[in-house]
Chain A
């Protein structure tokens, strides 16, 4: 489990590296103040997910039934709520904040996996995954992006991005996540661990927490 956790953080780093580049353009009271009164017109201010928003946001974007959000998820939020910005202020981005998000997201992903496990045919995200824990299922793809043979894990990550990023993952982003996943042989099958790590990486990324 500790090993998985390490992977989870590596994934988090990777996706954070990638996504913030398209991200925060302006914002921050200090910046606005430094620019004076004339700056703000027609400026979209970017924020990040807030304390009260985080669980509802993931539940909404994943279309996860409300009763599938577990007490573990709520406890994870309560444990780390002080690290999350009350109103989504970008200035509040910090290492503890991102770790708090990752902690909550890992539990939400666990809830999502548990929910999808009960769906034998109509899974949205983890199609063709063996979610019972033992390794099996389709191997992670090393195919080039032009090929039509994306793996179950690839498709899960793309579907998760469509759900919670408000856009589809780019080819670069997918490649980075694949690279991280391919570093560990135990994660190269579409099993529960791969589902948990790929889900956490996508949902804890800056694109997913950006408002």
Chain B
């Protein structure tokens, strides 16, 4: 069927909608009883606008919020949920909705995909990071393990997605895009693979020696380690998983002994006013990424860089690199003339100058590599608050308000009992602040 949508039709829609909303308040609704498939039961009843019982209504609402799809009124799952609600087992009723395929393919997919790109948008393909979160929730994995664990999820052989580990998963997103495009049932096809891998200089797959869980996933590195200076990895680790954009944790009173050479210090007033606040915290953590780069479609770890590109002809690699810095990509030395006395990254030992008061860190203030950085993130109090905020947005379709700070805090404390994201989704969905229903 070929369809043409003319401007006239478009105009009609606009006019219709205007009329529609103007006339809304005057409209009297009639009702049909719930068993109205029996034609005899259809009757006008101006006093009622509800077709279903309160339990039915709540079951439908929970299903829509959690499973992301309107349930068919004849679906036995809805009956199960209603029965559980009538017995006062609200959590169990909500849990039923989280075992529907659409909970994984809609609600969790969008929740996870938003964390994988700079735009924090759902309009990106599925990838290894998102699949790992979706699979991990299905398997009720402790959410801190997404950072401290060394594993990822992919579609199994029956998913129909291309299975070449190196070319379809490590060096491209083909595998996950195929899962997305085919509408695969993510609840069924995802399988856990232990051990993250990267390609070595010889082109062979090797184990990643410094796994930071989803922080060292291909998707996260593709978004934040491709080109640039690797500062974006730090910025977005905090922005995405701790819900703190740079301007909320910048602090000019921190020492700047770790600020890189590419950050000019003059004019000093400009440096102090515009640069220092962000760079003190970010650059002190940046060495965690010292051995990582992303190019030609994949993560590169601890490659040797004996020569840097010639600034006058970047195609020529003929600038010798000091031996102490040869494990570190050129991106750490770019524009180092701006302030040669600045901090030179030579290894992956990092320090954390970010505020304990804001983040509630529970791990040491220094560490080595992405594995320690991932632990810093996952075990912080702010990580729990951030997950609550993200789930709240996903289920309640709005950001939590400032006045709901204590609700977020309470939900975060509940979340820390088991760090189970499925339970967090259920807990949030049952809040009257979310559904408007006082249970």
A and B from one complex? yes
The segment out of B67-75, B323-331, B334-342 that lies at the interface is B67-75
B1 touches A1 (CB 8 A): yes
Interface membership of B418, Cβ < 8 A: no
Residues facing A in B273-331 (CB within 8 A) are none
A66 touches B185 (CB 8 A): yes
Interface membership of B438, Cβ < 8 A: yes
Give the residue of A1, A42, A63, A174 whose beta carbon is less than 8 angstroms from that of B438: A42
B12 touches A162 (CB 8 A): no
The segment out of B42-50, B161-169, B190-198 that lies at the interface is B42-50
B396 touches A60 (CB 8 A): no
Among A18, A21, A60, A162, find the residue whose CB has the most chain B CB atoms closer than 10 A.
A60
Q: What is the chain B residue whose CB lies nearest that of A96?
A: B10
The segment out of A46-54, A114-122, A131-139, A179-187 that lies at the interface is A46-54
CB B318 to nearest CB in A, in angstroms, measures 47
Residues facing B in A142-178 (CB within 8 A) are 145-150, 154-155, 158-159, 162-172, 174
Chain A residues within 8 Å of B398, by CB? 27, 32, 40, 45
B109 touches A52 (CB 8 A): yes
Q: How far is the CA of A13 from the CA of B65 in the complex (A)?
A: 27
CB B434 to nearest CB in A, in angstroms, measures 8
A45 touches B396 (CB 8 A): yes
B403 touches A145 (CB 8 A): no
CB B251 to nearest CB in A, in angstroms, measures 26
The segment out of B15-23, B216-224, B242-250, B352-360 that lies at the interface is B15-23
Q: What is the chain B residue whose CB lies nearest that of A141?
A: B39
A57 touches B69 (CB 8 A): yes
Q: How far is the CA of A16 from the CA of B280 in the complex (A)?
A: 55
CB B127 to nearest CB in A, in angstroms, measures 14
Q: How far is the CA of A147 from the CA of B31 in the complex (A)?
A: 16
Q: What is the chain A residue whose CB lies nearest that of B7?
A: A95
Interface membership of B14, Cβ < 8 A: yes
Interface membership of B436, Cβ < 8 A: yes
How many chain A residues touch B (Cβ–Cβ < 8 Å)? 76
B72 touches A56 (CB 8 A): no
Q: How far is the CA of A165 from the CA of B100 in the complex (A)?
A: 18
Q: How far is the CA of A27 from the CA of B432 in the complex (A)?
A: 16
CB B235 to nearest CB in A, in angstroms, measures 23
A61 touches B397 (CB 8 A): no
Interface membership of B123, Cβ < 8 A: yes
A148 touches B110 (CB 8 A): no
Q: What is the chain A residue whose CB lies nearest that of B123?
A: A86
Interface membership of A62, Cβ < 8 A: yes
A168 touches B32 (CB 8 A): yes
Q: How far is the CA of A1 from the CA of B433 in the complex (A)?
A: 47
Chain B residues within 8 Å of A81, by CB? 123
B102 touches A60 (CB 8 A): yes
Q: How far is the CA of A169 from the CA of B4 in the complex (A)?
A: 30
B403 touches A40 (CB 8 A): yes
B106 touches A53 (CB 8 A): yes
B70 touches A60 (CB 8 A): yes
Residues facing B in A69-124 (CB within 8 A) are 69, 74, 81, 86-88, 93, 95-96, 98-99, 103, 106-107, 110
CB A41 to nearest CB in B, in angstroms, measures 6
Q: How far is the CA of A41 from the CA of B403 in the complex (A)?
A: 9
Q: How far is the CA of A97 from the CA of B68 in the complex (A)?
A: 19
CB B68 to nearest CB in A, in angstroms, measures 6
Chain A residues within 8 Å of B50, by CB? 167
Chain A residues within 8 Å of B89, by CB? none
Residues facing A in B26-40 (CB within 8 A) are 27-34, 36-37, 39-40
Chain A residues within 8 Å of B28, by CB? 172
A40 touches B404 (CB 8 A): yes
Chain B residues within 8 Å of A86, by CB? 121-123
Q: How far is the CA of A111 from the CA of B3 in the complex (A)?
A: 16
A44 touches B70 (CB 8 A): no
Among B17, B21, B70, B100, find the residue whose CB has the most chain A CB atoms closer than 10 A.
B70
CB B259 to nearest CB in A, in angstroms, measures 37
Q: How far is the CA of A39 from the CA of B401 in the complex (A)?
A: 9
Q: What is the chain B residue whose CB lies nearest that of A169?
A: B32
Interface membership of B266, Cβ < 8 A: no
Among B3, B44, B64, find the residue whose CB has the most chain A CB atoms closer than 10 A.
B3
A99 touches B64 (CB 8 A): no
Give me 15 other A-B pairs in contact (C-beta within 8 A), A52-B109, A165-B70, A171-B44 excluded: A13-B16, A16-B20, A42-B436, A43-B433, A47-B397, A52-B122, A62-B72, A66-B183, A74-B183, A87-B110, A98-B13, A163-B74, A166-B52, A167-B51, A211-B64
Q: List 9 A-B contacts (CB under 8 A).
A: A18-B27, A21-B27, A41-B403, A42-B433, A57-B69, A86-B123, A99-B5, A162-B72, A168-B36
7 nearest CB pairs, A to B: A44-B436, A60-B69, A95-B13, A21-B27, A150-B39, A21-B24, A167-B51
Binding site for B on A (CB under 8 A): 1-2, 5, 9, 13, 16-18, 20-23, 27, 32, 37-47, 50-53, 55-57, 60-63, 66, 69, 74, 81, 86-88, 93, 95-96, 98-99, 103, 106-107, 110, 145-150, 154-155, 158-159, 162-172, 174, 208, 211
